[in-house]
Structure 1
């Protein structure tokens, strides 16, 4: 047993070392993207009809490091601030499948072909889904989903810091908090698969073609899988006989869908859009899975992660140590239970809300923003661990607070 645990730790460290340099760089890139591509900037570009807003939504979504749970409040906020149904769907489809961090991790573990093909598949999926919604489920008369933005009183505590500070803070502190737990689980699962299963296990069990793809789809659709944390699992599955196409199906359906996501899309965008969303993910995953298998099998492109230029071993080890420090601090912060932003000591919160459904710091940011857009709200602070929001201001409407939170996909415990 001790020897087995030791081997699992060695495999865990080996995979961590391969992805660490790229993931750290991805974290930093994601931090700067969070500063220069804000939800407000996206909102300004996703209104209007036709295909162009759909294209822009897909392009905006690809580099953003948002999971399938974190993208929902962003998308519903976009919707409530003027984005049409088709561009919102395009954003929902392209965003969770990939991000700048997961693209770099994909390159490190699966090679350059996979790293290029994965965001391309996400882009096309967003374009197809958004176009289908534009044709079959166009917006009718637009409704005002959220109260108008306040001109004064709405604050953002981070604005007092410079862009560089905010980028580094998001990339190395906030974002790692959102993926640290699934990433650790993914690395452990990958290590166990690598040691416990013989080579070509899945090829003998499921064969080739559509059956392993369907198996990966049935695994990926109902559960939550992080776009970054799923990569080491996919790499381990490929090493045990799963084809590149089947691995891609898992990487597309897992991050893009789960039961909570589909339920929320059904509620926010309607039944028809939810069905188009699910059908687009499933259909595109299978189509791109077959295309990728064709590229690897018939064009002679090797599909192992050893096919690209490898960094020196000492770089991997140093990066792994740094990544462990970043993830360790993120894990500590996620359990510390501290508010994302403290209310001033001289101001007591007038209203405390208990909110269900928040899972990450993107959720916190969107709840905070929704509350602070209610007229009369001066400041809102959100405690992710406790599931509570603290609101201060003068003359705000309690119903406005409840409606603002519920219309971005969360629920108020009354």
Structure 2
């Protein structure tokens, strides 16, 4: 027992792991070792078995992210969002669901597009859809929950993006939601759009090779640290959360669990890499699939990084619209998925 505790403490002194996620992971292991030593071994075995299943998805998603970064294919997104509104809103929603940008990583691109004069309607469609799903999250969700769940979540991102885009279009036609960016953002946003055309065969240039390697390593470490914490928490759910409580609170045939999951998802959602395994385990314990879907969509759009980024660049009316779409859209799609499943 003492050797385990001292080993974990020494491991924590490594500067690489002196950050919030690893700190939370190590403290959780320490707490288990102190209060329930038998559970420590069970949790470690659980994490190991789960990682074996999910490693191919981590590798695939990391390579996709790195390829887009090395080729600078993100410049295509800004260019695709200019033109006829009916076309670009659909394009923006689909790009948002398929783009590899995280909740906060998409904000500089959003600010740049608005500063370029791209209308808010397609930008909002992209803005709403992007935090819900991306190629990395799609693969992880498919591996942890199911392919059907991941596909419906991606479709939900597109539908919510379309709804948000058209809502903005009609609101602006009526004189609302004008001048979305804060004045302090507009001045610097133009610096973000000066990018080269995509270089698909990036391996011919040494600098792009280095970007590819760096991005692959970065995203794999990001996924590994968040998933380590997620799988540890999942193992504790399996051990300590009664199935009867989950089934009673978020199960059944009514729409109340979906509504509660939507509302709870706004403040409780921390990170998709943590939320997906937890929701998968809760569904196994009796949670409505629709409630799990609503939680992940609402939480993804209103996660702490996403909301901090939105508040930083957008006026208050845009922030309120953004949160409103998250709540209404997530609940509606949760009900639809529950009826489907």
Shorter-chain TM-score category? 0.7 to 0.9
Q: Is the 8 A contact 2:112 2:190 kept in 1?
A: no
Aligned to 1:183: 227
Q: Is the 8 A contact 1:34 1:64 kept in 2?
A: no
- Alpha-carbon deviation of 1:48? 4.4
- Alpha-carbon deviation of 1:192? 0.8
Aligned to 2:127: 92
Q: Which residues of 2 match residues 292-307 of structure 1 at below 5 A? A: 292-296=337-341
TM-score norm. by structure 2 comes to 0.75
Name stretches of at least 5 consecutive residues in structure 1 with no aligned partner.
297-414
Structure 1 residues 136 and 145: CA distance shift in structure 2, 3 A: farther
Higher helix fraction: Structure 1 or Structure 2?
A: 2
Residues 75-131 of structure 1 deviation map (CA, whole Å, 9 limit, x = unaligned): 223322332212221111111111111111111121121121111101111111111
Does residue 287 (structure 1) correspond to residue 332 (structure 2)? The answer is: yes
The number of residue pairs the alignment matches comes to 291
Higher strand fraction: Structure 1 or Structure 2?
A: 1
Residues 172-230 of structure 1 deviation map (CA, whole Å, 9 limit, x = unaligned): 21223444443322222111111212334311234433232233223321255333332
Distance 2:255 2:180 in 1: 42
Q: Which residues of 2 match residues 137-148 of structure 1 at below 5 A? A: 137=172, 139=178, 145-146=187-188
Aligned to 1:128: 163
Aligned to 2:113: 78
Aligned to 1:235: 280
Name stretches of at least 5 consecutive residues in structure 2 with no aligned partner.
1-35, 197-201
- Alpha-carbon deviation of 1:140? 6.1
Q: Is the 8 A contact 1:67 1:227 kept in 2?
A: no
Q: 1:3 aligns with which of 22, 38, 45?
A: 38
Aligned to 1:411: none
Aligned to 1:64: 99
Helix, strand or coil at the partner of 1:69? coil
Structure 1 residues 32 and 65: CA distance shift in structure 2, 3 A: same
- Alpha-carbon deviation of 1:32? 1.7
Q: 2:59 aligns with which of 24, 44, 55?
A: 24
Q: Is the 8 A contact 2:250 2:286 kept in 1?
A: no
Helix, strand or coil at the partner of 1:66? coil
Q: Which residues of 2 match residues 1-400 of structure 1 at below 5 A? A: 1-36=36-71, 38-48=73-83, 50-137=85-172, 139=178, 145-146=187-188, 149=191, 161=206, 163=208, 165-170=210-215, 172-208=216-252, 209-258=254-303, 261-262=306-307, 264-266=309-311, 268-296=313-341
Distance 2:192 2:306 in 1: 29
Distance 1:151 1:61 in 2: 18
Distance 2:210 2:118 in 1: 30
